[in-house]
Amino acid sequence: MSDVFSVELENIVKRFGNVVAVDHVNLKIRENEFFSLLGPSGCGKTTTLRIIAGLEEPDEGVVRIYGEDVTDVPTHKRNIGMVFQHLALFPHMNVFENIAFGLKMRKVQKEEIKKRVKEILEIVKLEGLEYRRVNQLSGGQQQRVALARALVIEPEVLLLDEPLGALDLKIRQHMMVELKNIQRKVKTTFIYVTHDQTEAMTMSDRIAIMKDGKIQQVGTPLEIYYRPSNTFVASFIGEAVNLIEGEVVENGLVDTSLGTIHCAGSLTKGRVAVMVRPEMVEIGDKLYNVDNLFRGTVQSIIFKGSYIEYRVDVEGNTFVIHKHGSAELGRLHHLGDIVEIGWKKNSSIIIPI
């Protein structure tokens, strides 16, 4: 992995009136990385992106692009590309003119413009649509035009602000794979803002989770899923999560209202939460080979296709369990059944509160 940083944010603060939209954000984004800013709406992720673009001026802090301080450089002089949430294609221009706009602003020769537009149209798979009006294109095609327009200028960084938000699920899933492929092909840093964890998980090399203007955690999708640094990240990422509060008594042992829970080793002390992902919990009439074992009552059963979601009540605590891939998808357990649930100690992670 590259040690060159394409974008660095140093102590960025942005206030809107009394609201602190971005609160001392520090980020170092590597060259050619697919980096996502993920968080609920209003967490400051779009503002952070707009600060990198120069569309928003930070109240404090420094923005660097490839080491150069660009904090006071206006947008049109930063070598960035941006794909907007509602695409922002120029309605009075056709596909070719939209894509060529950035090159014209850079005073590129006519022949060269033609050549480069052609190349980029191939990459985004829009050959032959040069002279269509943009409002005659489908949502997915408009998406590609927006992408091509931002990429054709060969920006040092490509910023994407929830660009897939307006698309249907199927096209969105397709575009996710496509985007990742395009990123590999053009070899540019992509900074991607989204509130959709599937998008972030699918495409990103690393993800920064934001909440209330602050970065909660930066890590690979795996790290963020399995090693969340706090309970917000734990519950924000993934479909569901089991969190049990307790007190660390000894390395890897947490005292909770359900008794002592065996966990993976951790240096954290004091009050903590124990996190277990639903797919790590086993369920059965009799369980063996688990380090933590509880007995409870089945509260609800939901068939979700590739798995069954059980909710099991253990002394007033509800556990969510995802049971995958059993050959007989008939219901193994029924409502009101007394069952055993359990997991191995390495599946439970200690998170500081």
Binding site for another protein (CB under 8 A): 53-55, 74-77, 80-82, 84-86, 88-92, 101-102, 105-106, 149-150, 153, 159
CA–CA distance, 115 with 46 (Å, rounded to integer):
33
Report the nearest approach of another protein to the CB of residue 45 (Å). Answer: 16
Quick one: 97 or 337, whose CB is closer to another protein? 97
Quick one: 150 or 308, whose CB is closer to another protein? 150
Q: Tally the residues of the chain.
A: 353
Quick one: 151 or 201, whose CB is closer to another protein? 151
CA–CA distance, 288 with 232 (Å, rounded to integer):
32
Quick one: 21 or 157, whose CB is closer to another protein? 157
CA–CA distance, 284 with 269 (Å, rounded to integer):
33
Quick one: 153 or 224, whose CB is closer to another protein? 153
Report the nearest approach of another protein to the CB of residue 152 (Å). Answer: 9
Report the nearest approach of another protein to the CB of residue 80 (Å). Answer: 6
CA–CA distance, 45 with 103 (Å, rounded to integer):
29
CA–CA distance, 192 with 182 (Å, rounded to integer):
14
Quick one: 100 or 241, whose CB is closer to another protein? 100
Report the nearest approach of another protein to the CB of residue 87 (Å). Answer: 8
The DSSP line for 287-342 is --S-SEEEEEEEEEEEE-SSEEEEEEEETTEEEEEEEE--S--S-SS-TT-EEEEE
Report the nearest approach of another protein to the CB of residue 171 (Å). Answer: 21
Assess contact for 63 and 12: CB atoms under 8 A: yes
What number of CA atoms fall less than 13 Å from residue 89's CA on the CB side? 29
Report the nearest approach of another protein to the CB of residue 75 (Å). Answer: 4
